[in-house]
Amino acid sequence: MRFRLQRSPYRFAFFLWLMFSAIFFVLGLIELPLHWLLALLLAMNLSAFTIYGLDKLFAMGHLYRIPEKILWLSAFAGGPLGALLGMYIFRHKVSKISFQFWLAVVILLELGLALLILQPHL
């Protein structure tokens, strides 16, 4: 028997991603002596990694899938390294060359943005 949702899969997947982000952010602030921005980046990367792992698990079980828009959102919202690690550790979306290319572009853009923001402090 397959698991089916009556509501929009986007709402469910977005809620999952948001929930993981919030949990990891709070845990990062409580458990680690991190600046809030570092805790937020850690949370975004951990949630992206978790979402990629869940989507692979769902795909293997022929269950509900997390839409690609949510996977992209998790990468764009500060979690590109978590998304990249999730891709390669879980072997998920690695056969899609365009997916890998655009994820590399996102990583380079976010690294460039981080360097621009941190440049006065270096």
By percentage, how much of the chain surpasses pLDDT 70?
84
| Residue 91: pLDDT band with limits 50, 70, 90 | confident
pLDDT in tens, 1-53: 455 545 566 677 777 777 877 887 787 777 766 667 777 778 888 888 988 88
Looking at residues 81-97, what average pLDDT do you find?
83
Average pLDDT, the chain: 78
Residue 118 has pLDDT above 70, yes or no: no
Tell me what pLDDT residue 2 has.
57
Has residue 116 got a pLDDT over 60?
A: yes
Q: What's this model's pTM, rounded to 2 decimal places?
A: 0.73
List CB contacts of 45: < 8 A, sequence separation 6 or more.
78, 79, 80, 81, 82, 83, 85
Give the lowest-confidence range in 53-57, 82-86, 91-95, 99-103.
Answer: 91-95
